[in-house]
Amino acid sequence: MAEKVLMKGNEVLAESAMRAGCKFFFGYPITPQTELSAYMAKRMPKCGGTFLQAESEIAAINMVYGASAAGARAMTSSSSPGISLKSEGVSYIAGADLPAVIINVMRGGPGLGSIQPSQSDYWQATRALGHGDFQMVVYAPSTVQEMADYTYKAFDVADEYRTPVMILADGMLGQMMEPVELRDPIEEIPERPWATTGHNNEREHNIVNSLYLDADLLDQMNHERYKRYEKIIATEQASEEFLCDDADIIVVAFGAAARIARNSVRAAREQGIKAGLFRPITLWPYPTEALEKTVAHAKGYLSVEMNMGQMVEDVRLVVGNRAPVDFYGRAGGVIPTPAEVLDKIVALNEKVGE
């Protein structure tokens, strides 16, 4: 077993990407993500890769498009406002069926917002990061160790389904340090027979493109892509449960909010309330199958988010009218306290107990 080291979440995202065979990183600094770019600037050249600080976020995402088309594992990272700038490029990457990893270390919004931690880009990440019919896999790590593990996973899944994959973190996870165990760097990335690497008159041209002027052809391309999405939905859902087996009240939270909710669930148990925590790890595909299993015994749900109420809609899609689904959130970069969440658990428990 490798030795555990103490590292910041942002640095772990960078280090893990390099260990996953990422050879090209294109970025543009923005708080609270900047340590990631700074770490890449320092380390990437030593790993034989390329770090480039682009002139803008838009340039950075299009450099990822180019590097990926040429067969490399490539990544970019930013924080909320910068991710909005990248959205056009992400749509092109999805339309061209290219793998890529995009990291969003979220901060408060909308607009320039704040630089404090937030989860207000949930809808953007899971519904519409860019125009057109496409989805991308979204991982929401909750510990620094998971930031390492899901960065490796993100590159593999991006390759397997030829799709952009997002790691949705936030300022708290990016800035905090925890012990982490890093895996050894991989030697070789999976083969890319579709890459535009030069045909040497030995094979047909490979074309990477997202423009289809023939409507029927584009219709067909979209249907084929959605078949891959069906497979992703069937096989890639991930979640974690804490004290859910006998829970009356299920708190649903991801990322940093899940860490806070975990404290509240423990405190509720100490008061004799049967509370549990359901933590989605994939936000798309949403872990509907695992959440569905809790509906048989849960009397109420509480979605806790660092936003005005976004994921709560996915919880309601699963639970429907079978149990009340409440929401508690703080926005703008304010982090909810475990005591505030506990109050909501107590209130919901009283409501459903009547």
Partner 1 sequence: MSNEMRLILAGFGGQGLLFGGKVIAYAGLIDDREVSWLPSYGPEMRGGTANCSVTLSDEPIGSPLITDPTALIIMNQPSLDKFEDAIVPGGVIVIDSALTNNAPTRTDVESFMIPATSAAEEAGLAGLANIVCVGKLWSELAFCKRETLDAAIRKAVPARKAALVDKNLEALELGIGL
Q: CB-wise, 68 or 142, nearer to partner 1?
A: 142
Q: How far is the CB of 191 from partner 1 (least distance, A)?
A: 39
Q: CB-wise, 23 or 269, nearer to partner 1?
A: 269
Task: Give the containing element (helix H, strand E) for 249.
Answer: strand 249-252
Q: CB-wise, 137 or 275, nearer to partner 1?
A: 275
Q: Measured in whole angstroms, how far is the alpha carbon of residue 125 from the centre of its chain?
A: 7
Q: How far is the CB of 117 from partner 1 (least distance, A)?
A: 9
Q: CB-wise, 165 or 260, nearer to partner 1?
A: 260
Contacts of 67 (CB under 8 A, 6+ apart): 23, 24, 26, 74
Q: How far is the CB of 291 from partner 1 (least distance, A)?
A: 21
Q: How far is the CB of 175 from partner 1 (least distance, A)?
A: 5
Q: CB-wise, 6 or 211, nearer to partner 1?
A: 6
- Measured CA to CA, the distance from residue 325 to residue 302 in angstroms comes to 6
Instruction: Give the residue from 150, 312, 161 showing the smallest Cα distance to 230.
Output: 161
- Measured CA to CA, the distance from residue 122 to residue 314 in angstroms comes to 11
Q: How far is the CB of 8 from partner 1 (least distance, A)?
A: 9
- Measured CA to CA, the distance from residue 325 to residue 28 in angstroms comes to 39
Q: CB-wise, 69 or 148, nearer to partner 1?
A: 148
Q: How far is the CB of 178 from partner 1 (least distance, A)?
A: 5
- Measured CA to CA, the distance from residue 326 to residue 344 in angstroms comes to 9
What residue type is 251 in one-letter code?
Answer: V
Q: How far is the CB of 6 from partner 1 (least distance, A)?
A: 5
Q: Residue written as tokens 């899971």?
A: 126
Instruction: Give the residue from 352, 253, 340, 263 showing the smallest Cα distance to 300.
Output: 352
Q: CB-wise, 27 or 171, nearer to partner 1?
A: 171
Helices (H), the chain: 9-19, 34-43, 57-69, 80-95, 122-126, 144-161, 171-175, 215-235, 255-270, 288-294, 312-319, 338-353
Q: Which residues bind partner 1 (CB under 8 A)?
A: 4-6, 31-32, 115-116, 171-172, 175-179, 259-263, 266, 335, 337-339
Give the phi and the psi of residue 209 in degrees, each rounded to 5. -160, 150
Q: CB-wise, 181 or 292, nearer to partner 1?
A: 181
Q: How far is the CB of 20 from partner 1 (least distance, A)?
A: 24
Q: CB-wise, 33 or 126, nearer to partner 1?
A: 33
| Residue 175, phi-psi category: left (phi > 0), alpha (psi -120 to 50), beta (remainder) | alpha
Helix 57-69 / helix 80-95 crossing angle, nearest 10 deg: 30
Q: How far is the CB of 15 from partner 1 (least distance, A)?
A: 16
- Measured CA to CA, the distance from residue 36 to residue 30 in angstroms comes to 10
